[in-house]
Structure 1
């Protein structure tokens, strides 16, 4: 197995009194061992299209324990058993709560594929460079 997909249920925090539960998917590819992708369905997005955020696996792991991130994605613990992810975009900020156990389970699966600290042994730098050059041209 070279990738892991993990379905999670998140609570979308909004101004409305009801906090909806929405499905989301965490994804990790062994060929891109530094990154995690989190996908949200179209009905949970402002534009009505599927949304996918890519951020560091290390950021997710650190954010479970203490506040982490300064850019578009920020992660922090929230009370017993919950973790908050904030996604900062042009349209505003989306905030979701996820049970911390679900995140730990996902990170355990990724670590079985690519142990933390050994990402450099699995990264396909030549492929990434070729893809980056294709994007420029």
Structure 2
């Protein structure tokens, strides 16, 4: 998915709940309006605070069952992203544990991302689609 499509998604935040992230042990992101979308190949989960701080994750939609599922970075799909104070942070490795419920209209998870130089981003999310109709959560493929 292109950066333009990601920006479009973030401007149309469609999920409510909570998305919290910590750099080392200090909270740097707390988002209540988030993105939870499905493309042809994956689910996209984004928490952001006015584009200043953002965590952008994805998991394959081919995961079977509700989980919990463990997804390791780097994935074969969309590149995960961390932005702190408007600056992209390189992710060295990471892990996301995700669980779906309510026919995949609700998603919960925790993540731990190694940024190198002894810096780590951790966090959790619990999101529900605002408009849970299948047609509303599909993003057009590239």
Give TM-score, length-normalised by structure 2. 0.44
Greater per-residue helix proportion: 1
- Structure number with greater CO (CA < 8 Å, separation at least 6) is 2
Give TM-score, length-normalised by structure 1. 0.45
Greater per-residue strand proportion: 2
